[in-house]
Amino acid sequence: MYDILLKNGRLFDKEAGVDGVADIAIEGGKIAAVGKIDEPAAQTIDLTGLRVLPGLIDYHMHALTSGCSFALKPELPCFTNGVTTMVDAGSVGNAGFRTSYINDVLPSEVDIKVMLNICSAGQLAHYYLEDLDPAHYQEKDILDLCREYRDVIVAIKLRQSRNITGDLGLTPLRETVRIAEKAGLPVVVHATDSPGEVKDTLDILRKGDVYCHCFNQVGKTIIGEDGHVLPEVREAQKRGVLFDCAHGSLNFSNLIARQAFADGFYPDLISTDLSQLSFNKAPGYGFAYMLSEILSLGMPEKEVFRRITASAARMIDADDTFLVPGKKADIAVFDIHDHNFKMKDRYGNLADGNTIVRPMMTIKKGKIVYRQVDLLDTL
């Protein structure tokens, strides 16, 4: 007898060649079978009309509460939104990493990976700005940690807004890239109101590096004066620089996103930048609401699904196929339906929403960790 049998859901795992209605059987924390399944199970749940995805991966969130005052414990925001794996986006630097690893990463029910902040202190508090003078970068300690915790540290993070970099300009980014090259890791750069032109930042980034908050509306943006995506943005994406939505409470413009989508430009990653500043608060709320916005603004559904599963998995050196027998049973179930609502971003832009993503169930390692009250076992 299986532990759980999910019946009649519409499955999607493009890399595994799964796209259609099928059943999933779960046993011993793993997917036991996919297809038409009639064997008994301790729990059988009818998912007719619902979307079944691999457990989502949030590539940009703040959850290391031991070292960051605005971080939040990940289980509540993740499991209630179908997320089973997340990446902390630079909450701590080398000085606080080991403490956060012991207190936050190891005990968590959510799988946590970490971007190590280039600043030793990390992001201690919202209004505490990082010291980005490269003379103060602790290069040896950073490289030692990246080697020792290679299975946890997946990138090096830098925030390079003008109010943080000051007169240093793009020098902190160049030095961060140099250190990341030694560590064999990508750089993730917070690029709102960055020094210079957008092209200046993109020219420094390598294949695999990430330009995050790509739909912000402060300073220079990815949209040119003609209302279209800058040619240098397209060229950078073509050569392998990745663009992350990283929504958050402050850095997402539905105007910029809508213009980009109309041009056929889509982010390589879709993440939340969730923290105490944004969870269950306008304009971010949570992953499901942010997906509702992205879909309503015109990004195709299947392209969205791939960004929050396979694309994110590759960024953390994880397998990019999920819904196949033998894999860990991390699964998210959603009701995606038409619904009219108003979307207002932090810049005051208004847009009409037409698609709502409603989380129905989250399964982590074969255990149901979240479910809607009306999603009942069949008798």
Compute the chain's Rg from CA coordinates.
20
Percent over 90 (pLDDT), the chain: 98
Task: Give the tokens for residue 103.
Answer: 């207190």
Interhelix angle 171-183/139-148, nearest 10 degrees: 40
Half-sphere exposure of 76 (CA within 13 A, CB side): 11
> For the residues 89-111, what does the mean pLDDT come to?
98
Return d(Cα 236, Cα 202) in angstroms, integer.
6
Q: What angle do CA 245, 247, 253 make, to 5 degrees?
A: 85
> In sequence order, what E strands does 325-366 have?
331-344, 350-364
Task: Give the tokens for residue 8.
Answer: 């009649």
Cβ–Cβ < 8 Å for 254, 343: yes
Task: Give the tokens for residue 276.
Answer: 């105490």
Cβ–Cβ < 8 Å for 82, 53: yes
Q: pLDDT tens for residues 19-65?
A: 999 999 999 999 999 999 999 999 999 999 999 999 999 999 999 99
Read off the DSSP letter of residue 16. Answer: G
| Position 127 confidence tier, pLDDT thresholds 50, 70, 90 | confident
Q: pLDDT tens for residues 334-354?
A: 999 999 999 999 999 999 999
| Position 208 confidence tier, pLDDT thresholds 50, 70, 90 | very high
- The answer, yes or no, to whether residue 374 has pLDDT greater than 80, is yes
The domains located in the chain, with CATH, are 2-53+324-336+354-371 (2.30.40.10), 56-315 (3.20.20.140)
Residue partners of 321: CB distance under 8 A and separation at least 6: 13, 15, 16, 310, 327
DSSP sequence for 155-186:
EEEEE--HHHHGGGTTHHHHHHHHHHHHHT--
> In sequence order, what E strands does 265-325 have?
none
Give the three-class secondary structure for 203. helix
- The answer, yes or no, to whether residue 379 has pLDDT greater than 80, is no
| Position 126 confidence tier, pLDDT thresholds 50, 70, 90 | confident
Return d(Cα 224, Cα 198) in angstroms, integer.
10
Q: What angle do CA 204, 209, 211 make, to 5 degrees?
A: 80
Task: Give the tokens for residue 288.
Answer: 């499901």
Task: Give the tokens for residue 316.
Answer: 């953390």
Question: Which position has the token pair 């509540």?
Answer: 76
Distance of CA 182 to the CA centre of its chain: 25
Residue 146, phi then psi, degrees to nearest 5: -65, -35
The confidence score (pLDDT) of residue 223 equals 97
- The answer, yes or no, to whether residue 106 has pLDDT greater than 80, is yes
- The answer, yes or no, to whether residue 98 has pLDDT greater than 80, is yes
Q: pLDDT tens for residues 239-283?
A: 999 999 999 988 999 999 999 999 999 999 999 999 999 999 999
